[in-house]
Amino acid sequence: MLNPEVCQKARLSRDPRFDGKFFIAVKTTGIYCRPICPATTPKEENILYFSTAIEAAVAGYRPCLRCRPDSAPGSPAWKGVNTTLDRAIRLIGEGALQDKSLPMLAEQLGISDRYLRQLFKKYLGISPKAYALYQQCLFAKQLLHQTKLPITQVALSSHFKSVRRFNDCFQSQLGLTPSQIRNSGGVESGSLKLLLTYRPPYDWNSLRDFFMARSIVGLEWCDEQSYGRTFEWRGCSGCFTAQHVADKNSFEVTIELDDVTHLKAIINNIRRILDLDVDIDAVNRDLERFFSVAAPIKTGLRLPGVWNPFEAGIRAILGQQVSVVAARKLVTTLVATLGLEMGDHRLFPSPGAIAKSELGFLKMPASRKQTLHHLAQHYLNHSSPADPQQWLALKGIGVWTVDYAKLRGLSDPDIYLAGDLGVKKAVLKTGQSLDPQQAAPWRSYLTLQLWSQL
């Protein structure tokens, strides 16, 4: 439950660390805002506080055109309370209810559609379909604000079947028309620019250095203030470059795509790779007890994501029992040999390309090449590949490989790489008696903190 006194102090401070943690609705204007909104501060008696943007919308408030609540970092109050709901939200964000019916989504989650509706009603106050529709409208609002995409492409990118349906839903959901939102943005020469925000602190230097040490020529690019890469998503391909803008607590992301149909899911995945939505202050407070004055915790560390679990798994296999430098050389060779060309860059090799190749160009044991084949074939045999945990049934894949793929390919926050040599060395260096179970549900961040001690 929100404490009005705490929320009042937070909104008056306009501290960006509270951005996305709650929303402010103004009774006199019928508008809801982020706590960092630059508008004149309203009187306290005219304010209501909501845990999520959608709760404010359900109460009849429309989003502020100045602070744009759709751009706030995601941190729902229920996150971590119910893992099934958390997964349902993620799948809906990826377009699950555009591709499937509600019963099909519920079956994928292993629950009944009735129970799924109950979860949404309990934590969000609306149905799953209403939630999905509202998120479509908020995403469209973001595109209208920040880009010059034609209205028809905004509608398509937001998974609306027609412009008429888009206009009707936008008006009913947000109380605004698309023409009221339309603003100058940045679509030029096929590129799309968006500002993706986060709550500070954010240790960009550490994340950049991690990416830079492992970046693959042709697949990724990294410099002092940016990281970028190519990608493939459900048949469409493209690339993105994320430029860090520290004074705005955000990344300016330029995306080039051959098809905007899955744009929302792609942007969500970029947010995951850069770990923009975690409440890092809460994580650090929970992990501080594992560190000492001699080896202090590093504030703002974020999980360095990989585009998908398959790529993370292949990179993990190539990194078994070798140094980071040696693993990087192997991945670079794999991408240069089997990755499809995309302009001056290459895509990460597909499961089919790896399965068909004898991999003779890789200087590594034959048994490890066979493990690559096993994982690639697993993906070819399953239209919707199972959780990486099931990779343990594949010869050559152990717990470390699966956990590494979960940590980087899914950004699972609760993975402790107990068998990692670097983690073992760091535990000795801290001089602390460490029980990783006590760090749940943030054991991935504990792993990252320990790596940073080396």
Q: Which fold has domain 191-276?
A: TATA-Binding Protein (3.30.310)
DSSP for residue 46: G
Whole-number Å distance between alpha carbons of 237 and 220? 14
Decide: residue 382, CB within 10 A, 0-12 exposed, 13-18 middle, 19+ buried: exposed
pLDDT computed for residue 75 by the predictor: 58
Name the one residue in this structure whose structure tokens are 């460490």: 434
Which region holds residue 48: left if phi is over 0, alpha if psi is between -120 and 50, else beta? beta
> d(Cα 403, Cα 380) in Å, to the nearest integer?
21
Q: Which CATH number fits domain 83-181: 3.90.180.10, 3.40.1280.10, 1.10.10.60, 3.30.310.50?
A: 1.10.10.60
Measured CA angle at 293 (ends 290, 296), to 5 deg: 60
pLDDT at 162: 87
Say what the pLDDT of residue 83 is: 72
* Confidence band, pLDDT 50/70/90 cuts, at residue 395: very high
Map tokens 């629950």 to a residue.
Answer: 111
What is the C-alpha to C-alpha distance for residues 398 and 378, in angstroms, rounded to an integer? Answer: 15
User: What pLDDT score does 122 carry?
Assistant: 83
The CB-side HSE value for 454 (13 A sphere, CA atoms) comes to: 14
Residue 124 · residue 117 · CB < 8 Å: no
Per-residue pLDDT tens digits for 26-60: 999 999 999 999 888 889 999 999 988 888 988 89
| Closest-CA residue to 337 (of 368, 313, 362, 318) | 362
Rounded Cα distance, 20 and 425, in Å:
37
What is the bridge-based pairing of β-strands 345-346 and 341-342? Answer: antiparallel
| Residue among 341, 344, 339, 342 nearest 357 (CA) | 339
Q: CA-to-CA distance for 264 and 140, rounded, in angstroms? A: 9
pLDDT at 78: 45
> Does the pLDDT of residue 65 top 70, yes or no?
yes
Mean pLDDT of 216-229: 97
With respect to CATH, is domain 4-71 assigned 3.40.50.700?
Answer: no
3-state secondary structure of 219: coil
Phi, psi (degrees; rounded to nearest 5) at 302 = -120, 150
> Tens digit of pLDDT for each residue in 77-130?
445 456 788 788 888 877 788 778 899 988 888 889 999 999 888 887 889 998
Three-state secondary-structure class, residue 226? strand
- Say what percent of the chain tops pLDDT 90: 48
Phi, psi of 22 (to 5 degrees): -160, 170
Q: Which fold has domain 306-408?
A: Endonuclease III; domain 1 (1.10.340)
Q: How far is CA 304 from CA 207, 225, 279, 454, in A?
A: 6, 15, 15, 17
pLDDT band at 449 (very low <50, low <70, confident <90, very high): very high
Ranges of each domain in the chain: 4-71, 83-181, 191-276, 286-298+411-454, 306-408
Stated as kind and residue range, the H or E segment containing 197 is strand 191-197
